[in-house]
Amino acid sequence: MKTLLIIDVQNDFLGGGSLEVPGSNVIVPVINQIQDSFDLVVATQDWHPEDHKSFASNQPGKKPFETIMLHGLSQTLWPDHCIQGSRGAELHQTLNTGRIAAIFRKGMDPEIDSYSAFFDNNHQLSTGLGGYLKEKGAMEIHFPGVAADICVYYSILDSILEGFTAVLVEDATKPLYTEKFDEMKCELVKLGVKITTSSQIISQNE
Ligand SMILES: [Zn+2]
């Protein structure tokens, strides 16, 4: 079961969004091109209530991108983004959604952030995605989406913990911070993560 897990391709993370990942709009047509090479396509959405504690606007005197301690965890404060039911939280209108079998939402608890598609940042609460993918017979998961150095990165780490093989689709993802992501990529390779491109995926499928 070749599986594609599209991470957070939502308006707020793409061009013009409140938490825009630089240059990220180019990844959407790439993700559309590769979807047909997979048996199972699943997507995630960051899906916060308005009072989410990761928003700087909910932390008096704090500004976006400052760091605080939140329930014992270091938490970067973000601009308001991906508020439940808002336009910013919708999957980007140019993303083909016809083949997406399920959408898993995360970040709904106002007290804790959830970068990974599998667990909250405290690793306490599962989204159920790991169980779903196992039941579907997924073994190897390909990862496109945003942000490469945050939600894609933590989702890949948890997918390994859950026993899956992870493949990063390099030209179908963009980081918020490029330099940080270059280091992370080295770390992921050491952990056994494969790195591929859309053209390799398409040519293997021919
Ligand atoms: Zn978020």
Given a contact cutoff of 8 angstroms between Cβ atoms, the answer to whether 88 and 11 are in contact is yes
Token pair recorded at residue 170:
């390099």
CATH numbers and ranges of domains, the chain: 3-204 (3.40.50.850)
Q: String of b and e for 9-24 (b: at least 16 CB within 10 Å)? A: bbbbbbeebbbbbeeb
Q: Residue 199 C-alpha to ligand 1 middle, in angstroms?
A: 30
Residue 108 CA, ligand 1 centroid: distance in Å: 9
Confidence of residue 16 (pLDDT cuts 50, 70, 90): very high
- The pLDDT assigned to 35 comes to 98
Catalytic-labelled residue, pool 12, 46, 120, 151? 151
Residue 179: the pLDDT is 93
Average pLDDT of span 121-142? 96
pLDDT tens-digit profile of 62-98? 999 999 999 999 999 999 999 999 999 999 999 999 9
Q: How far is the CA of 22 from the centre of ligand 1 (A)?
A: 16
Partners of 127 in the β-ladder? none
For the segment 50-71, the average pLDDT, to the nearest whole number, is 97
Task: Output the average pLDDT for the chain.
Answer: 97
Measured distance CA(172)–CA(136) in Å, rounded: 24
CA separation for the pair 88, 84 (Å, rounded)? 9
Residue pLDDT, tens place only, 27-37:
999 999 999 99
Inform me whether the pLDDT recorded for 194 exceeds 80: yes
When pLDDT is averaged across residues 44-70 and rounded to a whole number, the result is 97
Given 8, 80, 113, 120, which residue is catalytic? Answer: 8
CA 167 to ligand 1 centroid distance, Å = 23
Active site residue 151: yes
Tell me, what's the pLDDT at 205?
81
Q: Is 62 a catalytic residue?
A: no
> What is the average per-residue pLDDT within 138-162?
98
Q: What is the mean pLDDT of residues 139-153?
A: 98
Q: Mean pLDDT across the stretch 151-169?
A: 98
Which one, of 134, 95, 96, 137, lies nearest residue 118 by Cα?
134
3-state DSSP percent of the chain in helix, strand and coil, to 5: 30, 25, 40
Q: How far, in Å, from the CA of 38 to the mean position of ligand 1?
A: 27
Give yes or no for a contact between 99 and 41, defined as CB atoms under 8 angstroms apart: yes
- Ligand 1 centre distance from Cα of residue 203 (Å): 34
| Residue 206 in this model has a pLDDT that exceeds 80 | no
Which amino acid is present at 38? F
Please check the confidence at residue 196 and state whether its pLDDT lies above 90. yes
Q: Are strands 73-76 and 3-6 parallel, antiparallel or unpaired?
A: unpaired
Our answer to whether residue 82 is catalytic in this structure is: no
Asked if 41 and 49 touch (Cβ cutoff 8 Å), the reply is no
Ligand 1: distance of its center to the CA of 200 in Å?
A: 31
- Closest C-alpha to 167, from 136, 198, 146, 137: 198
Candidate list 46, 82, 106, 120, residue with the active-site label: 106
